[in-house]
Amino acid sequence: MTTGFFWDERCFWHSGGNYALTTPVGGLVQPMAAGGLPESPETKRRLKNLLEVTGLWEVLDTRSAAPACPEDLLRVHPQTFLERFKAVSDAGGGELGLRTPFGPGGYEIATLSAGLARAALFSVLDGQNLNAYALSRPPGHHCLPDWQNGFCLLANIAISVEAALAAGKADRVAVLDWDVHHGNGTEAIFYDRAEVLTVSIHQERNYPLDTGDFSQRGDGPGKGANLNIPLPPGTGHKGWCAAVERLALPAIRAFEPDVIVVACGFDASAFDPLSRMMASAETFRRMTRSTKALAEDICGGRLVLVHEGGYSEVHVPFCGHAVLEELSESVIRAPDPFADTLTKRQPGPRFDAFVDGLVGEMAEALGL
């Protein structure tokens, strides 16, 4: 079986308003030269283009998917929320929630983005693909059931997981979020649920500013089924890999899921404008390799990655290519042109020791 790659040109056509990074223009905030949000189509399109140029595209099982249907959406989002979103979209677009502008057709594009994630998950659970990647856009991990947030218009992964659970295709699902921002939406949706483990590795106090603490472990039946791993700004390759391998993966192993879903953001890249981390393409390669190995060991290799953030148009394609090299076990390579630079810019031993100590403290608290 091959690696599935789910994408659709229409997802690149999602448009936002005129922002300067995450601040709406106006007053003393000058519009940026290119206009629009940093969540642009170019990082995603350039990843797809790089896959085509290197030939890795030919190794993948590439296809589109149907939009998420109303039944799937309603398992996560209230009818009133969806109706309001559709009405604003049909009227030419606007902004709902916080930092979530969209243009005409925004509703249809968002349901397609969720549909790509759903199709990727179902393809793996149905045995059509061993693993899969969904190039979803707009992203989804910040979206709450009734409130759009942080570029996220629908909760793509939550919609997919709920659909799989409802269809009886899985009983237990682990969601590992290594986007640099806290996966607060996915966390909130499953916070009191025992059948879904949510793990978020993120830069502490980046976005949102008031969520993502290590102490937030879930509630009610979901107590213990939520794990936040906040890392300090400046964390590099060693720190991110330690967080995955010493905290996230042991927690997932203990949970014994039927499938692992990764919220795959590339905004921990050292070149990302919306974070202050030092990850490289090799970081994403190793995190994928480690997670894939765990999936092969505990759940038949069932692993799905869903694209989230990542705003460096230059670096995201190489990070994403490294991930897909690992998923597909291809020998085709797209060498990271910044590899030597990032190796020399990695944090020094004292900072690495500090992060290692933080990871150790969290592991001890978790009994890992």
Q: What are phi and psi of 94, to 5 degrees?
A: 170, -150
Is 141 designated active site?
no
Tokens of 308: 């989230």
Can you name the residues that pair with 95 across neighbouring β-strands?
Answer: 101
Does residue 94 sit in helix, strand or coil?
A: strand
Cis amide bond preceding 208, omega within 30: yes
CA–CA distance, 173 with 162 (Å, rounded to integer)? 10
CA–CA distance, 341 with 315 (Å, rounded to integer)? 13
CA–CA distance, 178 with 336 (Å, rounded to integer)? 20
Tell which phi-psi region holds residue 21, choosing left (phi > 0), alpha (psi between -120 and 50) or beta: left
Q: Which of 14, 77, 141, 142 is catalytic?
A: 142
The enclosing H or E element of 63 equals strand 61-63
Q: How many residues does the chain have?
A: 368
Query: Which are the contacts of 265, defined by CB distance < 8 A and separation ≥ 6?
Result: 139, 141, 177, 178, 179, 180, 181, 307, 308, 309, 310
Calculate the CA dihedral of residues 205, 306, 3, 330 and round it to 10 degrees.
-30
* Paired sense of beta strands 131-134 and 303-307, if any: parallel
User: Can you point out the beta strands (E) in 178-271?
Assistant: 196-203, 226-231, 259-264
**Hunting for tokens 């190793």 — which residue is that?**
286
Edge-first strand listing for the sheet containing 131-134? 61-63, 3-6, 131-134, 303-307, 259-264, 173-177, 196-203, 226-231
Distances (CA, A) of 40 to 148, 272, 284, 312: 17, 13, 21, 10
Give the catalytic positions in this structure.
142
